[in-house]
């Protein structure tokens, strides 16, 4: 990933020398369905996703004008799979033509968390918390790069599960952070399906046991 935590001077419109706060609405601005719309602290739209789907194998992260910044593609691997992030590759028909700038997969050493590895092989972690859609992105040293939590009103009232606050540390590429938020949304969709499958299997077992007892 063009380094999430760069040491160079700020030259990108997607970075700032100050901490930034965004509002993330987990809905498509156009279709009012599964999607993602991101507003800056001035209430201006900065990022959007219009082709978001919880079971999608390809998702595009765009700016306000519809320019593709990142493409997320899922590689199916066992139950959960892994996600590859490509920079500005919406016009490519095959991921073989370009190399991913990041890969996200379930952590093998942190139960329930996800590993993010960039093109320089630098590792970051997505650490999930309760409630449902709250998590942090940390570097290998445990420094918080960004964090997401349910958005609250000035009176402390939670605005809903699909309205979030995203806080991004200075000198961090917030366009890539938004991409990771989108990946996490896809992950939560997969986790939900797995839970439903497990619940269904448990119900099947319970029904089977009950029938056996009755016989």
- Taking the C-alpha atoms of residue 55 and residue 158, their distance in angstroms, rounded to an integer, is 27
Per-residue pLDDT band at 169 (split at 50, 70, 90): very high
- Taking the C-alpha atoms of residue 215 and residue 212, their distance in angstroms, rounded to an integer, is 5
SS3 183: helix
Q: pTM for the whole thing?
A: 0.77
Per-residue pLDDT band at 186 (split at 50, 70, 90): confident
1 secondary structure, DSSP code: -
Mind listing the pLDDT tens digit for each residue in 76-109? Answer: 755 567 889 998 765 555 545 678 999 998 877 6
Higher pLDDT, 20 or 92: 20
- Taking the C-alpha atoms of residue 182 and residue 79, their distance in angstroms, rounded to an integer, is 19
Range 20-214 classified under CATH 3.10.20.30? no
Strand partners, 106: 114
């Amino acid at each position: 990933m063009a380094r999430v935590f760069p040491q160079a001077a700020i030259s990108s419109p997607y970075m700032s020398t100050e901490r930034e706060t965004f509002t993330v609405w987990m809905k498509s601005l156009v279709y009012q369905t599964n999607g993602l719309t991101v507003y800056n602290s001035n209430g201006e739209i900065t990022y959007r996703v219009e082709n978001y789907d919880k079971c999608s194998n390809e998702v595009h992260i765009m700016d306000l004008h519809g320019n593709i910044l990142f493409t997320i593609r899922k590689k199916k691997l066992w139950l959960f799979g892994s996600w590859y992030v490509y920079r500005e590759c919406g016009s490519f028909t095959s991921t073989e033509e370009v190399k991913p700038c990041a890969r996200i997969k379930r952590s093998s050493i942190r139960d329930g968390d996800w590993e993010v590895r960039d093109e320089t092989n630098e590792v970051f972690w997505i650490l999930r918390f309760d409630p449902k859609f709250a998590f942090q992105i940390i570097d290998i040293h445990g420094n918080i790069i960004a964090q997401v939590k349910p958005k609250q009103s000035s009176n402390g009232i939670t605005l809903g599960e699909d309205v979030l606050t995203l806080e991004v540390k200075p000198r961090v590429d917030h366009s890539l952070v938004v991409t990771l938020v989108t990946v996490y949304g896809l992950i939560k969709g997969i986790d939900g399906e797995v839970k439903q499958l497990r619940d269904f299997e448990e119900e099947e077992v319970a029904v089977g046991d009950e029938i056996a007892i009755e016989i």
